Amino acid sequence: MSFDTVEHNRRRQNFEGVSSVWLFGYGSLIYKVDFPYLEKRPATITGWERRFWQGSHDHRGTPESPGRVVTLIESPRASCMGMAYRVPPDVFEHLDVREKNGYLRFATPMTFADGTVEEGLVYIATTDNAAFLGPAPAADIALQIARSAGPSGPNRDYLLNLAAALRALGDQDPHVFEIEKHLG
């Protein structure tokens, strides 16, 4: 049911001799910052869309009743706004565990408001992980979110906190806001 990616992620990038790394957050990493960082800046990545298509068996749901959390889906003409954090590499010891339910670290270019571009890491739950739920009508996703809760709290809090954080960033994410509207 879950796909524990901790050890796989720890083998993906070598941080030897690196003092800081950019990390791009597009979901709970925008509003639940439980890790130290050196700098944070709003950023955008291109070619990706945020979608509530990943199951959460460990944070916002249970194995019997998984919640839904966001992942990124490739979409050539899309862009996804989020928050970039410059972090010391040891932060990934914590984040790899936090994002263990199917998320893998990938490198991506991030564009800041001033037009500068930096390479950063992003956690993406790909379609081939065991916790991937895939698309569903917005009303069905909202109903699943309304009914789910896990060790990190009600799934609805995740959705509402994300929607509020996106509004604070000035992002107009139609997928997130449509599900929020159906949540009632």
N-to-C CA span, the chain:
29
CB atoms within 10 A of CB 33: 13
Please give the CATH number for the structural domain made up of 6-174: 3.10.490.10
pLDDT in tens, 136-182: 999 999 999 999 999 999 999 999 999 999 999 999 999 999 999 99
Reduced DSSP (H G I as helix, E B as strand, rest coil) percent helix, strand, coil of the chain, to 5:
30, 40, 35
Domain residue extents for the chain? 6-174
> How confident is the model over 76-131, as pLDDT tens digits?
999 999 999 999 999 999 999 999 999 999 999 999 999 999 999 999 999 999 99
Instruction: To the nearest 10°, report the CA torsion of 64, 70, 73, 76.
Output: 170
**CB within 8 Å of 16: residues ≥ 6 apart:** none
Verify whether residue 99 is a known catalytic residue.
yes
Structure tokens at 34: 């439980």
Instruction: Please pick, among 49, 93, 99, 119, the residue that the annotation labels catalytic.
Output: 99
Query: pTM for this structure?
Result: 0.94
